[in-house]
């Protein structure tokens, strides 16, 4: 059976190439493809990427978190996030809520967790684990990101997840994203990258998306306090590839605070924001290559949410191709 498969496979591809081989369209597509591939593939050369255009990959698997990032959204949605202190020590964490709908305005408070403690926060009715939070502002119709910090790089044992429930009856849920410093590359807890990817398909009526990019300035994350006052941004050069390996180049896209975009004209943004690409492919993958030339490093967390607007939806983090050399330590 497999011999037949292999034969048919080869024959199908040879026939297809012969049919299209002399078409100008095919030639142009092939040239575009060849130009794109080196960008899509991870850069192998030592020192191949400018130091200012690489970031560390966020982790959602190792339960040693010390600074966790959550997406939240109250635009016809309810948002909850759960935080757990898996260590047996009492800790105090700094919780910062950034609202993209109001210019990345910040509300923050401190909260206390005993060992093995866990708490579910409701963003619409924010309370604290220790019961000391009073008078949080209204976040109605807002969206943004939340950072919970206990020493940005101290392997504390924080874990968490967030749950965004849309009024149309679906949920976006995923583990929180942990901050990783360039120094963690040596510890093998993260890798340096400049390429992120995510997949999409329209099976079972998926037609809406939330491509969420959160950007913070590395210089502020080594403390317990993130600052967005300098409005750090990250610019990517996006490429979309469909399931037939046809490549679509898209204009540069900028993420700042927590930016929420659509994929293309087939899988548009859930809340009416612009799409990254203008094609109409319903299945494929998007590759985002970092092109910013920022003076200090950026930490980037990306989430991709897909839904049908009628009760089905999922979310998880962007993928990355790591392995670039980290920048030299500061003098």
Tell me which residues in 214-243 interact with other proteins (CB under 8 A). Answer: 241-243
| Residue 185 makes contact with other proteins by CB under 8 A | yes
For 262, half-sphere exposure in the C-beta direction (CA atoms, 13 angstrom radius) is 22
Asked if 84 is part of the footprint of other proteins (rule: CB under 8 A), the reply reads yes
Q: How far is the CB of 156 from other proteins (least distance, A)?
A: 13
Q: Taking Cα atoms as reference points, which of 62, 89, 79, 205 lies closest to residue 150?
A: 89
Site membership for other proteins, residue 174 (CB under 8 A): yes
Q: How far is the CB of 260 from other proteins (least distance, A)?
A: 18
Minimum distance from residue 34 beta carbon to other proteins (Å): 9
Tell me if 312 contacts other proteins by CB under 8 A: yes
Task: Kindly state the smallest distance separating residue 116's Cβ from other proteins, in Å.
Answer: 5
Point out which span in 98-106, 113-121, 134-142, 144-152 binds other proteins (CB under 8 A). 113-121
Residue in 70, 71, 72, 80 binding other proteins, rule: CB under 8 A: 80
Q: Of these, 49, 53, 55, 59, which contacts other proteins (CB under 8 A)?
A: 59
Q: 232 burial class (0-12, 13-18, 19+ CB within 10 angstroms)?
A: buried
- Within 8 A by CB and 6+ apart from 302, the residues are 196, 198, 211, 212, 213, 214, 288, 317, 318
- Residues 10-29 contacting other proteins, CB under 8 A: 12-13
Q: Which of 315, 238, 309, 242 is nearest to 277 (CA)?
A: 238
For other proteins, the binding residue among 62, 76, 92, 230 (CB under 8 A) is: 62
| Region from 23-31, 207-215, 229-237, 310-318 binding other proteins, contact rule CB under 8 A | 310-318
Question: Which CB, 262 or 305, lies closer to other proteins?
Answer: 305
Q: Is 212 in the site for other proteins (CB under 8 A)?
A: no
Task: Give the nearer residue to other proteins in terms of CB position, either 239 or 258.
Answer: 239
Shortest distance in whole angstroms from residue 68 CB to other proteins: 11
Find how far residue 326's CA is from the centre of its chain.
20
End-to-end CA distance of the chain: 62
Q: Cα separations (Å) of 53 from 42, 220, 240?
A: 14, 18, 20
Least distance in angstroms from the C-beta of 141 to other proteins: 18
Q: Which residues of 27-62 are buried (b: 16+ CB within 10 A; e: fewer)?
A: eebeeeeeebeeebeebeeeeebeeebbbbbbbbee
Give the SS3 label for residue 202.
coil
| Residue 26, φ and ψ in degrees, nearest 5 | -65, -40
Answer for which of 41, 138, 231, 274 binds other proteins (CB under 8 A) is: 41
């Amino acid at each position: 059976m497999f011999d037949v498969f292999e034969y048919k496979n080869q024959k199908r591809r040879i026939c297809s190439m012969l049919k299209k081989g002399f078409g100008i369209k095919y030639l142009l597509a092939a040239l575009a493809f060849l130009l794109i591939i080196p960008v899509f593939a991870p850069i192998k050369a030592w020192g191949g990427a400018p130091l200012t255009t690489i970031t560390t990959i966020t982790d959602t698997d190792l339960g040693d978190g010390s600074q966790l990032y959550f997406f939240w959204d109250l635009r016809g949605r309810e948002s909850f996030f759960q935080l757990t202190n898996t260590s047996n020590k009492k800790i105090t964490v700094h919780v910062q809520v950034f609202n993209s709908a109001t210019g990345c305005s910040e509300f923050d408070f401190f909260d206390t967790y005993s060992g093995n403690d866990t708490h579910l926060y409701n963003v619409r009715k924010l309370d604290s684990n220790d019961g000391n939070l009073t008078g949080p502002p209204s976040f109605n119709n807002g969206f943004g990101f939340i950072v919970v910090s206990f020493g940005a790089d101290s392997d504390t044992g924080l874990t968490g997840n967030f749950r965004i429930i849309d009024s149309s009856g679906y949920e976006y849920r995923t583990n929180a994203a942990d901050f990783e410093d360039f120094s963690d590359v040596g510890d093998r807890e993260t890798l340096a990258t400049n390429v992120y990817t995510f997949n999409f398909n329209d099976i079972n009526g998926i037609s809406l998306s939330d491509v969420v990019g959160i950007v913070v300035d590395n210089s502020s994350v080594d403390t317990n306090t993130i600052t967005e006052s300098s409005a750090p941004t990250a610019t990517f050069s996006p490429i979309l590839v469909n399931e037939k390996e046809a490549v679509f180049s898209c204009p540069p896209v900028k993420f700042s605070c927590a930016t929420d975009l659509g994929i293309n004209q087939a899988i548009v943004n859930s809340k009416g924001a612009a799409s990254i690409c203008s094609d109409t492919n319903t299945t494929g993958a998007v590759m985002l290559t970092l092109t910013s030339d920022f003076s200090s490093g950026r930490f980037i967390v990306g989430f991709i949410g897909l839904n049908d607007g009628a009760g089905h939806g999922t979310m998880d983090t962007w993928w990355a191709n790591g392995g670039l050399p980290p920048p030299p330590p500061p003098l």
